[in-house]
A and B are shown apart, each in its own frame.
Chain A
Amino acid sequence: MTSAKDTILGRIRQALVDVPETEAGPEAWRFRQRSTEDHSALLDRFTERARGYKVRVERATRAEAPARAARILAEAGLVRLALPADFPVDLAPEGFDLLRDDGLDNATIAACDGVLTTCACAIAETGTLVLDHGVGQGRRKLTLLPDYHLCFVEASAILGLVPEAVERMQPSVAAGRPLTFISGPSATSDIELNRVEGVHGPRTLVVVILDEAFPNETETH
Chain B
Amino acid sequence: MSVDSPGIIVERAFPAAARDALRDSQLRRNIGKATNTIRAKRKAVVAEMPDWQDLRDAGYAIKRDTLRHLDRHLLALEASVTAAGGTVHWARDGEEANRMVGDILAGHQAKEVLKIKSLTTDEIGLNGALSARGIEPIETDLAEVIVQKGHDRSSHILVPAIHRNRAEIREIFKRELPDTEHLTDEPRDLADAARRYLRQKFLTVPYAISGANFAVAETGSVAIFESEGNGRMCLTLPRVLISIMGIEKVIPRWADMSAFLQLLPRSSTAERMNPYNSVWSGTRAGEGPEEFHLVLLDNGRSDVLADEPARDTLNCIRCSACLNICPVYERTGGRAYGSTYPGPIGAILTPQMNAPPSPADSLPFASSLCGACYEVCPVKIDIPRILVHLRGKVVAARGAKTALDGEALVMAAMARVFENPRLYALAHKAAAIGQVPFIRDGAIKSLPGPLAGWTAMRDLTPIAKQSFREWWKARDR
Contact = CB atoms under 8 A, between A and B. Distances in A.
A183 B55 contact: no
Nearest to A30: B54
B236 interface: yes
Given A29-B54, A144-B229, A16 B70 contact: yes
Given A4-B91, A173-B219, A201 B165 contact: no
A174 B187 contact: no
A186 B203 contact: no
B279 A167 contact: no
Interface stretch (A17-25, A64-72, A112-120): A17-25
A5 interface: yes
B232 A183 contact: no
Given A13-B71, A200-B233, A176 B303 contact: no
Interface string B240-263: 000000010000001101110110
A4 B61 contact: no
Contacts of A11: 298, 302-303, 306
Interface in A6-64: 7-9, 11-16, 18-19, 23, 25-27, 29-33, 49, 52-53
Nearest to A6: B90
A152 to B, nearest CB: 20
A106 B61 contact: no
Contacts of A156: none
Interface string B216-245: 100101000001111011011100000000
B70 A12 contact: yes
B54 to A, nearest CB: 4
Interface string B151-195: 000000001111001100100000000000000000110110011
Nearest to A19: B68
B65 interface: yes
A25 B30 CA distance: 44
Interface in A185-215: 185-194, 196, 198-202
A145 to B, nearest CB: 8
B55 A200 contact: no
B276 A173 contact: no
Given A3-B90, A16-B70, A31 B306 contact: no
A31 B259 contact: yes
Contacts of A169: 254
Contact of A201 (B247, B258, B275): B275
Contacts of B38: 193
Contacts of B302: 8, 11-12, 14-15
A139 interface: yes
Nearest to A203: B195
Contacts of B91: 4
Contact of A103 (B68, B89, B143, B286): B286
Could you say which interface size class chain A belongs to? Answer: 35 or more
Of the candidates B68, B140, B187, the one having the most CB atoms from chain A within 10 angstroms of its own CB is B187
B273 A201 contact: no
B276 A201 contact: yes
Given A26-B61, A173-B219, A183-B275, A199 B255 contact: no
Interface in B45-64: 50-51, 54-55, 57-58, 61-62, 64
A79 B243 CA distance: 38
A160 interface: no
B71 A9 contact: yes
A199 B57 contact: no
A17 B215 CA distance: 25
A52 B282 CA distance: 34
B96 A32 contact: no
A84 to B, nearest CB: 12
Contact of B191 (A53, A174, A188): A188
B207 interface: no
Contacts of A163: 258
B393 interface: no
Given A31-B54, A179-B278, A180-B278, A106 B62 contact: no
A186 B228 contact: yes
A200 B229 contact: yes
Nearest to B45: A126
Contact of B202 (A103, A191, A200): A200
Nearest to B144: A190
B305 A23 contact: no
B343 interface: no
B19 interface: no
A166 B169 CA distance: 39
A183 B272 contact: yes
Nearest to A163: B258
B190 A191 contact: yes
A51 B382 CA distance: 37
A88 interface: no
22 contacts: A4-B89, A4-B96, A12-B71, A16-B70, A29-B54, A53-B275, A106-B203, A106-B237, A127-B272, A139-B288, A144-B229, A166-B257, A166-B261, A170-B255, A173-B216, A179-B278, A186-B275, A187-B227, A188-B143, A189-B269, A192-B165, A199-B228
Interface of B: 30, 33-34, 37-38, 50-51, 54-55, 57-58, 61-62, 64-65, 68-71, 74-75, 84, 89-92, 96, 140-143, 146, 159-162, 165-166, 169, 187-188, 190-191, 194-195, 198-199, 202-203, 216, 219, 221, 227-230, 232-233, 235-237, 247, 254-255, 257-259, 261-262, 265, 269, 271-282, 284, 286-288, 296, 298, 302-303, 305-306, 308
